[in-house]
Amino acid sequence: MDRPLKSPGLYALEEVFHRQFEQSRGEPAPTLQARLDRLRRLRAALTENEARFEAAISADFGHRSTVETAIAETMLVLGEIKHAAKHLKGWMAPERIPTTVQFAPAKNRLIPQPLGVVGIIAPWNYPLQLTLAPAVAAIAAGNSAIIKPSELVPRFSELLMEAIAKKFDTAELAVTDIDDDIAKAFAALPFDHLIFTGSTRIGRLVAEAAGRNLTPVTLELGGKSPVIVDGSADIDEAAQRIAYGKLLNAGQTCIAPDYVLVPQTSVQPFAMRLQGHMQHMFGTDPKNPDYSSIVSDRHYARLEGLVADAAAKGATIMQPAAPNEPEWKERRKFPPTVIVDATPEMTVMQQEIFGPLLPVIGTRDATEAIAFINRRDRPLALYWFGTDNAARDAVLARTVSGGVTVNDCLFHFAQAYQPMGGVGASGSGAYHGEWGFKTLTKLKPVFYRSRFNRLADLYPPYGAKVARLEKLMRMLS
C-alpha cells in the first residue's frame, strides 16, 4: 500500500528503463562481436516468427496482404540488419580528422560512442518495419533500446514482446505493453535519444515531453507528399506508378502520394488512366486478398468524411463502388478513390489523407506547381515524373522535402546508403544504414597533443615570444 497507484505495465517500464540505464553506464561501449551477436538474434526473432507476424498484422488490420508485409516490412528489416552487419566494423572505427596547421604535429580523431538508452515509439501502419528498423540502428550503435508499439495493433504487439523476450535480456532490448499509462509516460522518461514515427500532431507532444529532459529526438512524421507530373511525362506510365505508390497498404503509408499536380489539359486523361491502373492492380472486388483493409472503423469513417466533403464542395469523385456498401464497409476495404479538381478549401487538401484517396489538381505550368507546394508545410516526400531534366532540376532546387523519388514513388525510402528523414513539419533527424548509426552515436572529438608541439609558448608570462607566435598563427590561419 506504500506504492502510488500505477499500472503493472508502468512499473515494468520504469524497472526496465532503470536496468538499461545502469547497464549503459556500466558497459558504455559494447564490442563489435557483442553488437553483431545482437543483430543475429534480432534477425532470428524475425525469421523464426515471420509467418506469425504476417498473420498477426493481417488480423489487426482486418486484412492485409502477406505479400505487402513481406516486401514493405520483413525484407526491409532483413536488409537493414545485413547492411549494418556488413559495415559495422568500419562504422565503429575512429575517424582520422585533419589537424589545424597551427597545432601540428598533433592529431585529431572522431571516436563513435554509444549514447546509452534509446526509446522507440512506433506507429501502426508498418508495425514490424517501424519498430525493428530503428532497433537495428540502436543495436549497431551499441545502445540498448525500449520499443513501444502502437495500441492499434495489439496482436502484433503481443507477439513482438514474446519474440524479443525469447532472444534478448531486457537490459539489451525490450518491448513494452500498450496500456494507456505507458503511452503517456514513455516519452517523459530521460532517454538518451528518442525516435518517434507518427503524426505531426502527436510528434509535437512527444517532442515537448522529451524536451523537459533535454532528450534529443528523431521525428519521422508525415504530411501531404505531393506529386508533380511534368508536361514531358508519359502520363500512362506515371499513372501506373503513382497508383501503386498510393494503394500500397491501402494508402496507409507516411510517404504515400497525397495529391497530384498535372498540367490542366491532362487532368481528365490522367485521372482516367489512374483509375484504370488502380482497378487493374486491385480489381473492384472487396474480397481481393491483395488489397488491404483500413486499420479501424474510426479511420474508415474519417475517409468517408473526406470524400463527402470534397463532393459537397464540387469535386468529381471516381470510385468503383460507394464506401458505404456493406461488402466494402464490413471488411473495412475502402474503394480506391480519385478526387478530380480538388481545391484548397476541401478537408482532403488540409489533412494528411492516410488512405486510398488521391486528389488530382490541374496547374498552368511548373512554376505554379512549385508555388502550390511551397505555400504548404514541407513534405516528407516529393515525387516528380517527366523527361525534361531542366524542369526536374528546377523542382529539386526550388522545393524542400524529406526525400525525393524521380519517375517513381516510395523507393527513396528503401535505399540503405541514403538517410530517411523529414524536414520542418514532416520531421527532424534521419536514420537508415550509417545515418542511423550516426544519429544514435556520439561522435566524440579527441585532440591528441604531440610532445613536439610549441603550445607551451602561449603560457604566461606573456611577452615578445607570444607576440611572435601570435603573428605566426595569424599568418597560418
Tens of each residue's pLDDT in the chain, 477 residues: 344 445 557 768 999 999 999 999 998 899 999 999 999 999 999 999 999 999 999 999 999 999 999 999 999 999 999 999 999 999 999 999 998 887 888 899 999 999 999 999 999 999 999 999 999 999 999 999 999 999 999 999 999 999 999 999 999 999 998 887 787 889 999 999 999 999 988 999 999 999 999 999 999 998 999 999 999 999 999 999 999 999 999 999 999 999 999 999 999 999 999 999 999 999 899 999 999 999 999 999 999 999 999 999 999 999 999 999 999 999 999 999 999 999 999 999 999 999 999 999 999 999 999 999 999 999 999 999 999 999 999 999 999 999 999 999 999 999 999 999 999 999 999 999 999 999 999 999 999 988 877 666 677 877 777 787 778 778 776
Examine the residue annotation and report whether 254 is marked as an active-site residue of this protein.
Answer: yes
DSSP states along 430-461? -BSHHHHHHHTEEEEEEEE--TT--GGGGSSS
| Alpha-carbon gap, residue 122 to 195, rounded angstroms | 8
How far is residue 271 from each of residues 192, 239, 283, 307, 312, measured CA to CA in Å? 48, 8, 17, 16, 19
Catalytic site residue from 54, 73, 80, 220:
220
* Distance between first and last Cα of the chain: 68
CATH 3.40.605.10 domain position(s) in the chain: 8-221+428-442
User: Tell me, what DSSP letter sits at residue 248?
Assistant: G
Residue 111 identity (one-letter amino acid): I
What residues form DSSP beta bridges with 196?
121, 219
- Say which residues have a Cβ less than 8 Å from residue 318's Cβ, sequence separation at least 6: 271, 275, 337, 338, 339, 340
| Of 412, 418, 414, nearest in space to 430 by CA | 418
Q: Where in the chain is the domain with CATH 3.40.309.10?
A: 226-418
Radius of gyration of the chain (CA): 26
Cα–Cα distance, 136 to 441 (Å, whole number)? 13
CATH for 226-418 is 3.40.309.10
Q: CA-CA distance, 5 to 183, in Å (whole number)? A: 16
Would residue 409 show up in a list of annotated catalytic residues for this protein? Answer: no
- What are 440's three cell numbers? 544514435
Name the CATH topology of 8-221+428-442: Aldehyde Dehydrogenase; Chain A, domain 1 (3.40.605)
- Residue of 254, 352, 409, 434 with catalytic role: 254
| pTM tops 0.85, yes or no | yes
Give whole-number Cα distances, 34 to 67, 138, 318, 335, 397, in Å: 33, 13, 55, 49, 43
